[in-house]
Chain A
Amino acid sequence: MIKIVNLYKSFGQNKVLQGVDLTIERGETLVIIGQSGSGKSVLVKHLIGIIKPDRGNIFVDGVEIVNLKEDELHKIRGKFGMLFQGAALFDSMTVAQNVSFGLERYTDYLPGKIQEVVEESLAKVGLKGVENLMPHELSGGMKKRVGLARAIAYWPEIILYDEPSTGIDPIRADAIINLIDRMKKELKVTSVIITHDMTSSYKVADRIAMLYGGKIIEIGTPEEIKRSENQVIQQFIHGQAEGPIENW
C-alpha cells in the first residue's frame, strides 16, 4: 500500500503540490487525471524518491521513504517499474540492453535467463526482432512499448505509467491498456496511471483521482467520477473549453 500524506512541492515560485493526500491500495489501478502542468508527473516521481518533497510524507508498504538513504531507497525502488512519458530509453544502448538494465540490477538472473526474459517482455508489448536496434531506429510508439517492456521486465509489484497511451495509435493504445489490465488481473500488480485519455481511464481504473490546484480534489470509481457534481471535474472529463478551469 502507498500512502501520501500532506505532500508539498514547489519549484521556485511555482507551487506544484499543495497538500496532496492519497492512498493507493495493493493491487488496485488508480488513474490520476489533471491538466497538463498540474503536477501529476511530479507527484508520481515522489513515489520512487526521484523528487524529494518540501514537506509531507510518503509510505510504501509502511516504510517512510522521504528520509531514506540512497541504499535503502534502492530496495524500495526495486518494487517499482516506471514507464516514462517520452519512454526515456537510454540512447547509447540497444533495445535489449535497455530492457535488461533493470533485470541486471534487481534480479540474480544469469545472462541466458536475462535474454529469455527480455524476449518475453518485448513479445508482451508486441515487439519481436528489435533486440539489436538502437532507440533512434524506432518510431515513437515503438519506443513507448520498449519503455513498457523495460518497466515490466523484472516483475515489479507497483508500476507507474506516465501517459502510457500518448503518442501511440488508438489500436496500440488500447492494446497497452489491455496489457495493464491483464497485469493487474494475473499478477495483482498495483498500477498508478497518469493520463488525459478518459476512455482508457474508464476502461482500466478501479478509482480515478483528479489533481487540481496542487491537491487531489476528488477521488472515486469511474462511475462516481462521471456522476460528480464538481464543475471542475465535469469540465475536464468532457473536455470543455468553457468552465471553472482556466484555459491559459
Chain B
Amino acid sequence: MINQSRYSLLFSFFQELGEVGSLVGKTLRNIFRKPWEKNIFIQQLEEVGVRSLPVVSLTAAFGGLVFGLQTYIGFHRFIGHGSEAYGGPIISLGLSKEIIPILVGLMISGRVGSAIAAEIGTMKITEQIDALYSLGADPNRYLVAPRTLACFIMLPCLTLYGDIIGIAAGYFYNVVLMGVNHFIYFENTLLYLEIWDVITGLIKAAFFGIIIAIVGCWQGLKAEGGAEGVGKATTRTVVIASISIIILNFLLSKALPGTLSG
C-alpha cells in the first residue's frame, strides 16, 4: 500500500515535471516564431515592469536601509569606530548580487505570478481558452509566450532599478544618517564593486522571470473547478515560484563565477 502510494507520488511528480518541460519547450519555440502577439507583449511589459515600480521601489529602499544598518552595526562592533565606511562595497555587492534579485523575484512572483495564474485560470474555467482555440489563436502563443518574454526582459530591468535604489538607501543610512565618511565609503565601493557583480544579479533575475511566468501560466492552464480552483492555482503559483527562486538563486550563485577579474 505504502509502496503504491510512493509510486503514484513519484509518477505524478514526473508527470508534472513533463508538463512544465513541454510548456517551456513550446513557449521557447513560440517566442522565436512569427507571428508575434506584439500588442499583448507590450501590455505585459507595462503590467510586469511599469506597474511593479512602486512595490520594487519600496522593497529595495527598505532592503537597502536595513542591510546598511546591519553592516554598520557589524563593522562598528567587530572592527571598531571609523571602520563603518568600509561597509560600502559589502552593501553594494550583497544587494546587487543576492538581496535585490531575490527580493524583486519574490515580490514579482506575488504580484505578477499570482495575477497571471488568476487571469489564465479564470479564462480556463470560463471556456475563454477553448474560445481562443476555436478562433484560431494558440493559447501558448497568445498568452504564455508574451508573458514569459515580458518577465524575462522586465525582471532584470526591475532588478537594476532596485540595485540603484537599494545602494542609494544603504549610502543614505550610513553616510547621511550615521555620518560615515563619504569619500572612503564611495571610493571603496567603486574600488571593490565589479560590474560583473551587478550582471550576476541581472542574470539571476532573468531566470527568475522565466520561472514566475511559466509557473503562473502552467498553474492557470491547469486550473479547474471554479473559483476554488483559481484560488488554489494562485496560491500554488506563489509557493512554487518563491521556493524555486530561492533554490535556483543558490544554484546560480554557485555556478556563476564570483569575479571575472581572475
Contacts and interface: CB of A to CB of B under 8 A. Distances in A.
Interface in B92-139: 122-123, 126-128, 130-131, 133-138
B138 A84 contact: no
A108 to B, nearest CB: 13
Contact of B136 (A85, A90, A91, A106): A106
Contact of B131 (A70, A90, A105): A90
A85 B127 CA distance: 9
Interface string A31-54: 000000000000001001110000
B198 to A, nearest CB: 36
A81 interface: yes
Contacts of B134: 48, 50, 77, 80-82, 102
Residue in B128, B134, B138 with the greatest tally of chain A CB atoms within 10 Å: B134
A101 B135 CA distance: 7
Contacts of A85: 127
A82 B136 contact: no
Interface string B60-93: 0000000000000000000000000000000000
A30 B136 CA distance: 24
Contacts of B136: 74, 77-78, 102, 105-106
Contacts of B137: 101, 105
Q: How large is the interface on A (under 10, 10 to 19, 20 to 34, 35 or more residues)?
A: 20 to 34
A146 to B, nearest CB: 12
Given A85-B127, A90-B128, A49 B133 contact: yes
B133 A88 contact: no
Contact of A45 (B122, B126, B130): B130
A52 B258 CA distance: 49
Given A48-B133, A50-B133, A88 B138 contact: no
A171 B89 CA distance: 76
B133 A84 contact: no
A165 B220 CA distance: 30
Contact of B138 (A70, A78, A86): A70
A102 B126 contact: no
Contacts of A150: 135
Contacts of B133: 48-50, 77
A50 B132 CA distance: 10
Contacts of B127: 84-86, 88
A85 to B, nearest CB: 7
A86 B134 CA distance: 15
A142 B126 CA distance: 16
Nearest to A153: B135
A81 B130 CA distance: 12
Contacts of A86: 126-127
A241 to B, nearest CB: 28
A82 B131 contact: yes
B128 A91 contact: yes
B25 to A, nearest CB: 13
A98 B125 CA distance: 18
17 contacts: A45-B130, A48-B134, A49-B133, A50-B133, A74-B138, A78-B136, A84-B130, A84-B131, A88-B131, A89-B131, A90-B123, A91-B122, A91-B128, A101-B135, A102-B135, A105-B137, A106-B135
Given A81-B134, A86-B127, A105-B136, 19 more contacts: A48-B134, A50-B130, A74-B136, A77-B133, A77-B134, A82-B134, A88-B126, A88-B128, A88-B130, A89-B128, A89-B131, A90-B123, A90-B128, A91-B122, A91-B128, A102-B134, A102-B135, A105-B135, A106-B136
